[in-house]
Chain A
């Protein structure tokens, strides 16, 4: 056998060996996708927010009638302080689940918590806050859900972390739980403050 022929034979075998590896490769890639799809921690309904790292939308939400808490506007988010904007409603059951955590956070006074009362009758929102306590230092009302749309809200509750310059840094979809608060939200607040 001449030298070039030998080389050709060699590359031929390598190519064939690689061809045998191809199905395994395809299998591994597909298994990866299946694992991702089956992950119980993944909520397929949760969409990534496109508002991240963008300035909070311009809005002015009037105060909740009959309660001594001021309303909420974009300017309130640009005070140089990190803040949370929590979209809530009295008719929203998961809001009730996350409420004690917000109360707890409010008591610690580490971060200002603002509420956006989404499509709620004022008297019902008031009754809800009277029953469960008010963690918010400002509450804006969004009667027709238009402000919610500007924030890209798809459901209640949602919670946004806003940095001092009024940019949205994080959005938590669904009720906040202890895990999300301690592992994600609080460290992020700490980081934004630093």
Chain B
């Protein structure tokens, strides 16, 4: 490989890796305490941006997402636990703000629905398979004498010409 091309490739790779984890967090938002900042990043990744709706506030550039990121950090500095911060945001925006829906009676169908549907499908397949052998138990009817004779003739017919009968 020519050195110039290698340099370009390395440059591109470095760019790809450097830009991936940056998200939307601006330098001025980052906390001095790396432990708190880490918690802030984790929390933000699980909170939905209410403007874009399919992005976390950690990766969204929306104004409201930035406000919420700052709010999360402010409360972390004040000594709130992760659960307290989540509860604070949920109290204002509802469960929808959590990218991972909580497990509670309203969401049982969401969480267990797929298992239920799988179980129903398995049940259906089980019924189908249990019924089918019953029809197949007799198996194909044995050949009668005429058919056996014809089969023997066909097997003996080595020259491959069409059978006469």
How far does the Cβ of B65 sit from chain A's closest Cβ, in whole Å? 11
Q: Which residues of B have CB within 8 Å of A154?
A: 50-51, 64, 93
In the complex, A154→B67 CA distance in Å? 11
Q: Is the CB of A145 within 8 A of B50?
A: no
Q: Which residues of A have CB within 8 Å of B96?
A: 47
Which chain A residues numbered 8 to 53 have a C-beta less than 8 Å away from chain B? 45, 47-51
Taken residue by residue from 142 to 156, chain A's Cβ proximity to chain B (1 for < 8 Å, 0 otherwise) reads as: 001110011110110
B107: interface (CB < 8 Å)? no
A119: interface (CB < 8 Å)? yes
In the complex, A149→B94 CA distance in Å? 12
Query: Which residue in chain B gives the minimum CB-CB distance to A144?
Result: B67
In the complex, A49→B51 CA distance in Å? 14
Q: Is the CB of B93 within 8 A of A47?
A: yes
In the complex, A50→B96 CA distance in Å? 10
In the complex, A47→B53 CA distance in Å? 10
Query: Which residue in chain A gives the minimum CB-CB distance to B66?
Result: A145
B68: interface (CB < 8 Å)? yes
Q: Which residues of B have CB within 8 Å of A150?
A: 92
In the complex, A45→B64 CA distance in Å? 15
Interface residue count for A (Cβ, 8 Å)? 16
Taken residue by residue from 125 to 140, chain B's Cβ proximity to chain A (1 for < 8 Å, 0 otherwise) reads as: 0000000000000000
B71: interface (CB < 8 Å)? yes
Q: Which residues of B have CB within 8 Å of A45?
A: 53
Q: Is the CB of A50 within 8 A of B67?
A: no
Given contact pairs A149-B71, A154-B51, A50 touches B64 in the complex (Cβ within 8 A)? no
In the complex, A49→B94 CA distance in Å? 7
How far does the Cβ of A21 sit from chain B's closest Cβ, in whole Å? 15
How far does the Cβ of B9 sit from chain A's closest Cβ, in whole Å? 41
How far does the Cβ of A45 sit from chain B's closest Cβ, in whole Å? 6
Given contact pairs A45-B53, A47-B96, A154-B64, A146 touches B91 in the complex (Cβ within 8 A)? no
Q: Which one of A50, A144, A145, A155 lies within 8 Å of B92 (CB-CB)?
A: A50
Q: Which residues of A have CB within 8 Å of B63?
A: 119, 145
Could you list which residues of chain B lie within 8 angstroms of chain A, going by C-beta atoms? 50-51, 53, 63-64, 67-68, 71, 90-94, 96
A50-B93, A154-B93 known, 7 other contacts, Cβ within 8 Å: A50-B92, A119-B63, A144-B67, A145-B63, A146-B67, A146-B71, A149-B71
